[in-house]
Structure 1
């Protein structure tokens, strides 16, 4: 049986741009693959996963399925192990799990000229915050300020910081904002912070992982030339997923990758900040 099927799963899923991104890459690469989408909630993941046949090559996972995908993987890459989250499954006799969100954040910053940071701030303590923390640590951040509506829920990020050998402090949104080099906002799309101006004034370069609606309220408060849109992270984490589906590793570059990336960028139809 030809192994040619791929899809993104999540709940909700109708808004997902993954089918457009991956289909563009598949066309450029000349592969006889198809990439779709399926609405799967947390309770339905196991049944849906075990119902897959040999025609399936891999899955992209979005919320709320990254923890379920982590458990489904027999082996995982370092980023998945650190964060406890898998957003990419390469299927076969031994399902392999990857977290390409970490690399997607690093690549998105780099594309906008930001390759290193000594101090960083993460806004929000949800599922994406752990990937953001690993990403900024890999960019060189030694001190990371985490802000959450309920700081007590961010204790796992402090523990993760200890694993990575970086200092993580946790506070609420109302506390003062000391200057940092980069800020990663992991808040839901449409979230509004009362102190957006204060965070913008001391926040360095912003990557807001939310991309709908765009610009987010936070991005609109930031100097435009200091904003990396969430679309950029989405694009680069998807490119790393394509590498996984083609080569089995998010680090193994594709042939003529620049052409693949350009086609994916066109498919994404990224709006401007203005």
Structure 2
């Protein structure tokens, strides 16, 4: 995709979701734009799924893009004129680049991969994913990019995992779907995508925690999560790392039109973004 012109008059950005008051995205993005010398605004707004289409249609030519969180990722996918490969696979868009056409991206996949790699973990052979929603879909694609050869999905309602089966089929990855209470085989990594505050039955959590390898916990507030606090068998990666690195990829999109081109002095920007959330 072609570069976006920083001086084209489109300088407004925001994160939308419901709820949204807890979001750290404004602190992350504003820190990056200050360092880049860009006079861009980045706000937050509470927008639910029912109001998404009208809110998007109301934006004028001063708007550059949007970050989308739950429950808007599927609606954003439907609204995009064109989507990237990760968005196509997952059916979820968390970034919209606005202009003559609305371009949709999924940076959650890359954010998860980056979080693992920055934790020193370059690959996994097997993965267990807890949950079957939009973040779980991104986690499955990320697992494939990390080299996973098999996946297991745990869901409260296994019948809700049809999207996960479809994605695994497209990736050519064997997948098993099970309920939480079923016996857990050893895996190299566990990716938990359950809502913040979820507490699993003690016996279920203990069984997963002794056979689950590295834990990537998408929830990061409060921290540690109940699952992370009892994890016994490997390193733990906080979901804040995904939040950070998917935001870096969003900023690349808003600046360059692609998430594959690094920012100028990106290591410096990442450090400033990380610091900004501690001060927020």
Q: Which residue of 1 aligns with 2:121?
A: 114
* RCO higher in structure (CA 8 A, sep ≥6): 2
Unmatched tracts of structure 2, length 5 or more: 1-7
SS across alignment from 1:137: helix
1:105 maps to 2:99: no
Counterpart among 76, 79, 84 of residue 69 in structure 1: 76
Matches within 5 A, 1:190-229: 190-194=197-201, 195-223=204-232, 226-229=235-238
Q: Which residue of 2 aligns with 1:11?
A: 18
Superposed displacement of residue 224, structure 1? 8.5
Q: In the aligned structure 2, how far is the partner of 1:98 from the partner of 1:121?
A: 25
Q: In the aligned structure 1, how far is the partner of 2:161 from the partner of 2:265?
A: 41
1:256 maps to 2:265: yes
Q: In the aligned structure 2, how far is the partner of 1:252 from the partner of 1:223?
A: 38
Task: Map Cα deviations across residues 198-229 of structure 1 (whole Å, 9 max, x no partner).
Answer: 11111110100011111100000114961000
Task: Map Cα deviations across residues 13-72 of structure 1 (whole Å, 9 max, x no partner).
Answer: 111111000000011101011100111111111111011110000000011111111111
Q: Which residue of 2 aligns with 1:35?
A: 42
Normalising by structure 1, report the TM-score: 0.96
Cα RMSD for the two superposed structures: 1.2
Superposed displacement of residue 268, structure 1? 2.1
Please list every run of at least 4 consecutive aligned residues from structure 1 whose deviation after the TM superposition is greater than 4 angstroms. Answer: none
Normalising by structure 2, report the TM-score: 0.94
Q: In the aligned structure 2, how far is the partner of 1:225 from the partner of 1:23?
A: 34
Q: In the aligned structure 2, how far is the partner of 1:86 from the partner of 1:23?
A: 21
